[in-house]
Chain A
Amino acid sequence: MYYLTHIGHYFIMLKQVLKKPQNWRVFRESLFRELEDLGTKSLGIIAFISFFVGGVIAIQTALNVDSPFIPKYLIGFVTKRSMIIEFAPTFMSVILAGKVGSYIASSIGTMRVTEQIDALEVMGINSLNYLIFPKITATLLFYPLVILLSMFLGIVGGYCAGIITEKFYTEDFLYGLRLDFDPYLVSYAMIKTLVFAFVIATVPAYHGYFVKGGALEVGRASTRAVVWTSIVIILLNYFLTQMLLS
């Protein structure tokens, strides 16, 4: 019952959030601010992790391919597939849930406990729409680009790992990359990314917006937001995979 109440409140909140902005000029300014806060400021960590995860996938595959009957180009193929269908969209979204989710929950939560949200309401502003809609728009616009970058850097990381460790030939790796390329898998990854982007913007916002109390509660809400965003991403990942790939 407890969880159902929260799910109900979440959808009631969305009804208020997904309305036409009261003022497009203010919305545009907020959107650019969110693109910077939620998007460009996440690029560094995503690039760093993607590069090294790609490298690790390539090395681990190389170390496990002992049999002479298994072709070496499998390393490039596995790195590409892993990055495109799982590591970039899901793994990076969970990382963004931690980084961006805690930021969203704590910033909105702090606005709540310092009466900044009350100040918006008193002015007659739909505070849910004003605060959350630009975040949703920013994540939906920017995260597909972030995930495409993650895919690319992961594959580059795998390639570089081959050069550095000399565990496989770069020619084999490149052949594996080009082998059996299925564009639908990129579409599948993009669909997942868009769904996860929406979750990353809204679940932490829900936890932050309805916080009550002081700094301690804001901290707790922030932690709860990260946990629940990650859980929702993992669950949706399962259902989306079942729906889109099977």
Chain B
Amino acid sequence: MITVENLQKSFQGIPVLKGISTTFEKGKTNMIIGQSGSGKTVFLKCLLGLHQPESGIIDFDGRHQHKLSIKAQRQLRKEIGMVFQGGALYDSLTVEENVMFPLKMFTSQSYKEMLDRVHVVLNRVNLENITGKFPSELSGGMQKRVAIARAIVMNPRYLFCDEPNSGLDPKTAIVIDNLIQEITKEYDITTVINSHDMNSVMEIGEKIVFLKDGVKAWEGSNKEIFKTENDTVVDFVYSSNLFKKVREISLKETK
């Protein structure tokens, strides 16, 4: 579980995060949603330790992120898997080498052991026959799946995903969503997804944190989001006609 208390961050005097408090639960797909510029990415980067917040607490199962020694921070980071928006695969390495990279860096396993593990995770994301290819030879969906494989190869306790569906067609997006949710359950990890894809939110958002102008405006589950009367959430989530209809039907059924 990740607990965040009163997180504040500003850039050049302009506040971006204005005291966010929430918890991200273990074994669940937690989602951060909000408009562009609402502070989602900064929030995620603070959680990852890529940005240093001005104040507040980020607690990973009892470990206060910014009070840890360098050694303990390194240990914590080994327990984190991250799927970046563009995949962030290393261009000069093949798929196999990309997935193997964290194992090479942090374990003393033999090449055969590492190779076996790489094949297990590539199998898990349904990519077995592309090990020798370079990232530039893969489709967007494949790159995302390789990124997921790399993120889980070290058996992380925490999985972070930044816009995992951006640039993907709806069908592939669903495949990626389901994969992330399955992995979350299978490995019993705390998953935090940064997204503004409402399909994903409705499909796999077991816990949703809605940000607006650097403030947590709402939180709940994908079931609760249908019923909420919070104007800002309704305005954001149901901005498309399709979702307006879905909400109407859903409310009718509930009554």
Residues of A within 8 A of B (CB): 22-23, 25-26, 33, 110-111, 114-116, 118-119, 121-125
15 new A-B pairs (CB below 8 Å) besides A33-B92, A119-B84?
A23-B105, A23-B106, A25-B104, A111-B91, A115-B84, A115-B85, A116-B89, A118-B84, A118-B88, A119-B82, A121-B50, A122-B80, A123-B78, A123-B102, A125-B105
- The reply to whether B50 and A22 contact each other, CB–CB distance below 8 Å, is no
Residues of A within 8 A of B78 (CB): 123-124
B76 contacts across to A, CB distance below 8 A: 124
CA distance A186 to B8 in the complex (A): 59
Decide yes or no whether B90 CB sits under 8 A from chain A. Answer: yes
A124–B88 CB distance below 8 A: no
A34 to chain B minimum Cβ distance, whole angstroms, is: 11
Question: A116 contacts B90, CB within 8 Å?
Answer: yes
Q: In the complex, what residues of A have CB within 8 A of residue B90's CB?
A: 111, 116, 119
- Chain A residues, CB < 8 A from B74: 124
With A114-B86, A115-B88, A116-B90 known as contacts, the answer to whether A124 contacts B104 (CB < 8 A) is no
Check A118/B50 contact, CB under 8 A, given A26-B104, A123-B78: yes
Mostly, the B contact residues are mixed
Complex interface: chain A residues within 8 A of B88 (CB): 114-116, 118-119
Nearest A-chain residue to B111, judged by Cβ: A25
Shortest CB-to-CB span from A108 to chain B, Å, is: 12
A23–B92 CB distance below 8 A:
no
Within 8 Å CB of A123, what residues of B? 77-78, 80, 82, 102, 105-106
Q: How far is the CA of A115 from the CA of B48 in the complex (A)?
A: 13
Q: Are B92 and A22 in contact (CB under 8 A)?
A: no
List residues 104-140 of chain B with CB under 8 A from any CB of chain A: 104-106
Q: Can you sample 28 A-B contacts with CB below 8 Å?
A: A23-B104, A23-B106, A25-B104, A26-B105, A33-B92, A110-B91, A111-B91, A114-B91, A115-B88, A116-B90, A118-B50, A119-B82, A119-B84, A119-B88, A119-B90, A122-B48, A122-B49, A122-B82, A123-B78, A123-B82, A123-B102, A123-B105, A123-B106, A124-B73, A124-B74, A124-B75, A124-B78, A124-B106
